[in-house]
Amino acid sequence: MGNIIAWLVLGLIAGALAKAFYPGHQGGGIFATIGLGILGALIGGYLGQILLGSSAAAAASIGALSIGSIIFSVLGAMLLIFLWGLFTRRAV
């Protein structure tokens, strides 16, 4: 039960920070923000661990709450926002 709460808290923090830092308007409510943060933690942790071999990145991918895991989670969530914008952009 503690792991689920840690994932939710990490997701909320990372998703909210990613939306605050990323330029432009991103829609979605609290559940979309948490989902964005959780997926961002998985992606940021995975990529950070592969590219940098960082233990903080590994912590992000398992939902641990630390400064390093939050940073990698926010970076992963920002990457997801960017990719979502690419896929949903309408051609005029």
What pLDDT, in 10s, does the model give residues 24-44? 777 777 788 888 888 888 888
Instruction: Determine contact, residues 24/78, Cβ cutoff 8 Å.
Output: no
Q: Is the pLDDT of residue 92 over 60?
A: no
**Whether the predicted model's global pTM rises above the 0.85 cut:** no
Q: Which pair of tokens denotes residue 59? A: 């912590």
Instruction: Count how many Cα atoms sit within 13 Å of the Cα of residue 47 in the half-sphere of its side chain.
Output: 15
